[in-house]
């Protein structure tokens, strides 16, 4: 068995390469892509120069794999295990350097997206991948500037940036399961300091059966979606170095919400509004700042109709229009001061106001307010051009909760061939509304006595660059260690709550491991990168890996995409080691990992050097591997419903089967 694992891991690391664009130090070949100079926009990349671990996916690399949603694009990121539970635009399972899904904060252009009703859900249905200009992933504790739920990292999706020249794209695709996608954007300048970006998209699919086992009573068997999204961004130069930015995005989606038995119709009809206004002062005179307000409104009209057993008329459990949703709004301000030689100071304030309710899982109207003060001091090149250090504090005051966290980080570049960096501090995660107040007979009951989670984080890395003929070889080795107190977890062993409840784990939980990345690029357009992650996630004193967290995984690929050629291609491989989960209902804990997925794609610019008309073919899951995306679950069998017993069966959510997608894009 050990020999089998070694050979599998070696094969995955040796043959699986991907082409994620990383933020290495300038001296070590860093590639930084910036579409603006706002303090908020540049903050993630500034943090990277002070020792924070960042991965950046740019538009070109995202386009090459032809993803439909954010989750598919994020599969390229080393150290991030991510699986869409039911295919595109569905919820995801995440483990970022040994984390859980709820430990990672999602933002879009700096706007908080995480759902405070349910921390384990994700905003994967918020934005199609076609509208993404880049994705920034900060790994490790990032609560200093980003607050709760950034305990293990932050994912910031950046939409199309502003330009002075009028340009745009129109794209369309279809796959072998009759899924279609149409999108486009246009951007440019109106003169007089006015710039704009307008975009829209439509994605729809009949879907596939996402369950490994289905009961005969199930008649709605495919997970499908129909999603519209449109947005507008506006920028105006009020004065030199003073800019006003505004944006709004509207999304409507009909997304199936299935179970493996009795479902006749079950769907979430979603309506989402995201907006922000930001004022940026970017002069290099010792003072920079941004002042921002944001609004995020997310509503769902739910419907569930079940087939009776034995046969009869359908049973309406939740009539069309049953509500669940939330509204999140607030504001933030950060000022950067360079008052004297050698040091910079960042001072900020963050306010969040949340309210929401769920008439499906019976969460009564709930609200919360959070105020936070932020302070960071950092060295500048005036002290050292090779070494930088930063330290900061964040004080949070919520409804009945006060927390102060700290962060210290640093980076030193010895030469082009070697750098070291580290980032350490504390973080916190508030219990979500479901864990606190859920009160549905079908599911876990909330525990209003839950305490927030607290964690101590450390990321430390060494890396560099080595010349390689007409190209270069980059390498990086990272050690991470996270210790969590009062981790919030499910409790299915309390007889007072037969459907389960929530608890704070008594023992500390440790997430410790390492990540290795090796990448190469050549002047002729070839690029490659391999990564391997080991994450040991266990309760103190236990030898058992925690559920739904892979102990080992590797990913990568090989790409050919020269800027001066009309064609290119890529191949990616992702290997996942052991991942365990236990289905409620007395079933044993089972392994649903140990598999490899292979994807490939080719593209051709049919107009040659003009490179305006792009034709592409991509195949996801080439070998049609049947794999689980979130572990084993349990449901009541048809027989169990018939005879009144609690007869149950195990099933798992199936990953995307082999899918061939053909796409065409016109750039103007």
DSSP codes, 390-450? EEEEEEEEETTEEEEEEEEEEEEEEETTEEEEEEEEEEEE---HHHHH---TTSPBP-TTP
Q: Report pTM.
A: 0.91
Taking residues 462-488, what's their average pLDDT? 92
Which DSSP helix (H) or strand (E) runs through 101? none
- Mean pLDDT (whole number) for 386-397: 96
SS3 385: coil
Contact at 8 Å (CB) between 482 and 456? yes
Q: Is the pLDDT of residue 24 over 80?
A: no
pLDDT band at 64 (very low <50, low <70, confident <90, very high): confident
Please say whether the beta carbons of 426 and 438 come within 8 A. no
For the cut 50, the answer to whether the pLDDT of residue 193 exceeds it is yes
pLDDT of amino acid 36:
56
DSSP state of 161: P
- For the chain, domains (ranges, CATH) are 2-220+228-667 (2.40.170.20)
C-alpha span between 138 and 475 (Å, rounded): 18
Query: How high is the mean pLDDT of the chain?
Result: 90
- Count CB neighbours of 94 within 10 A: 24
Q: What is the pLDDT of residue 149?
A: 86
Q: Exposed, middle or buried: residue 244 (CB in 10 Å: 0-12, 13-18, 19+)?
A: middle
Give the mean pLDDT of 494-503: 84
Comparison of pLDDT for 3 and 271, the residue scoring more: 271
Residue 21 scores a pLDDT above 70: no
- Distance of alpha carbon 487 from alpha carbon 504, whole angstroms: 5
Q: What pLDDT is recorded for position 562? A: 85
- In three-state form (DSSP H/G/I as H, E/B as E, the rest C), the secondary structure along 213-258 is CCCCCCCCCCEEEEEEEEEEEEEEEEECCEEEEEEEEEEEEEEECC
Residue among 237, 234, 233, 206 nearest 222 (CA): 206
How far apart, in Å, are the Cα atoms of 46 and each of 106, 180, 349, 378? 19, 39, 19, 11
C-alpha closest to that of 618 among 639, 603, 604, 633: 603
Q: Are 663 and 171 in contact (CB under 8 A)?
A: yes
Q: How far apart are CA 594 and CA 596, in angstroms?
A: 7
């Amino acid at each position: 068995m050990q020999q089998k694992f070694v050979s599998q891991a070696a094969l995955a690391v040796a043959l699986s390469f991907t082409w994620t664009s990383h933020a290495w130090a300038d001296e070590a070949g860093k590639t930084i892509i910036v579409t603006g100079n706002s303090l908020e926009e540049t903050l993630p990349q500034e943090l990277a120069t002070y020792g924070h671990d960042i991965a950046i996916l740019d538009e070109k690399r995202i386009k090459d794999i032809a993803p439909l949603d954010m989750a598919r694009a994020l599969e390229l990121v080393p150290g991030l295990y991510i699986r869409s539970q039911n295919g595109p635009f569905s919820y995801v399972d995440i483990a970022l350097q040994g984390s859980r899904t709820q430990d990672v904060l999602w933002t879009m252009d700096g706007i908080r997206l995480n759902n405070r009703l349910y921390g384990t859900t994700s905003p994967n249905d918020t934005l199609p991948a076609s509208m993404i200009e880049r994705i920034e992933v900060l790994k490790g504790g990032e609560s200093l500037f980003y607050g709760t739920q950034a305990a293990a990292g932050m994912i910031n999706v950046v939409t199309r940036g502003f330009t002075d020249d009028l340009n745009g794209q129109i794209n369309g695709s279809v796959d072998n399961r009759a899924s279609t996608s149409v999108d486009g954007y246009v951007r440019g300048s109106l003169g007089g300091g006015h710039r704009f970006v307008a975009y829209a998209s439509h994605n729809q699919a009949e879907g596939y059966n996402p369950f490994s086992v289905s009961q005969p009573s199930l008649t709605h068997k495919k997970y499908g979606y129909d999603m519209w999204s449109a947005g507008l961004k506006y920028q105006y130069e009020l004065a030199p170095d003073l800019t006003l930015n505004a944006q709004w995005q509207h999304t409507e989606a009909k997304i199936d919400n299935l179970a493996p038995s009795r479902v006749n119709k079950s769907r979430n009809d979603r309506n989402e509004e995201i907006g922000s206004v930001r004022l940026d002062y970017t002069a290099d005179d010792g003072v920079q700042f941004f002042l921002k307000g944001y609004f995020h409104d997310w509503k769902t009209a739910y419907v569930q109709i079940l087939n009776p057993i034995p046969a009869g008329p359908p049973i309406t459990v939740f009539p069309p229009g049953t509500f669940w949703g939330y509204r999140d709004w607030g504001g933030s301000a950060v000022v950067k001061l360079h008052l004297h030689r050698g040091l910079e100071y960042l001072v900020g304030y963050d306010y969040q106001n949340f309210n929401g309710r769920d008439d499906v899982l019976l969460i009564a109207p709930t609200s919360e307010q959070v105020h936070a003060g932020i302070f960071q001091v950092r060295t500048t090149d005036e002290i050292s051009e090779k070494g930088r250090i930063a330290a900061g504090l964040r004080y949070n005051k919520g409804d009945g909760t006060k927390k102060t966290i700290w962060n210290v980080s640093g980076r030193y570049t010895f030469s082009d061939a070697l750098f070291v960096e580290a980032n350490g501090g504390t973080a916190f995660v508030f219990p979500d509304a479901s864990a606190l107040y859920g009160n549905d007979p079908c599911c876990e009951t909330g525990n209003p006595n839950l305490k927030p989670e607290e964690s101590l984080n450390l990321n430390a890395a060494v890396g560099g660059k080595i010349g390689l003929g007409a190209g270069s070889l980059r390498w990086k080795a990272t050690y991470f260690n996270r210790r969590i107190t009062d981790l919030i977890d499910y409790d299915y062993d309390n007889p007072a709550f037969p459907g389960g409840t929530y608890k704070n784990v008594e023992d500390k939980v440790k997430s410790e491991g390492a990540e290795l990345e090796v990448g190469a690029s050549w002047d002729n357009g070839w690029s490659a990168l391999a990564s391997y992650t080991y994450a040991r996630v266990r309760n103190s004193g236990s030898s058992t890996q925690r559920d739904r967290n892979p102990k080992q995984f590797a990913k990568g690929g090989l790409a050919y995409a020269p800027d001066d050629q009309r064609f290119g291609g890529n191949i990616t491989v992702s290997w996942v080691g052991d991942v365990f989960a236990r289905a409620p209902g007395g079933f044993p804990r089972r392994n649903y990992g140990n598999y490899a997925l292979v994807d490939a794609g080719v593209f051709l610019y049919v107009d040659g050097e003009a490179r305006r008309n792009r034709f592409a073919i991509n195949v996801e899951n080439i070998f049609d591997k049947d794999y689980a995306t979130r572990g084993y679950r349990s449901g009541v069998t048809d027989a169990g419903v018939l005879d009144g017993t609690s007869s149950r069966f195990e099933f798992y959510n199936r990953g995307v089967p082999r899918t061939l997608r053909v796409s065409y894009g016109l750039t103007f």
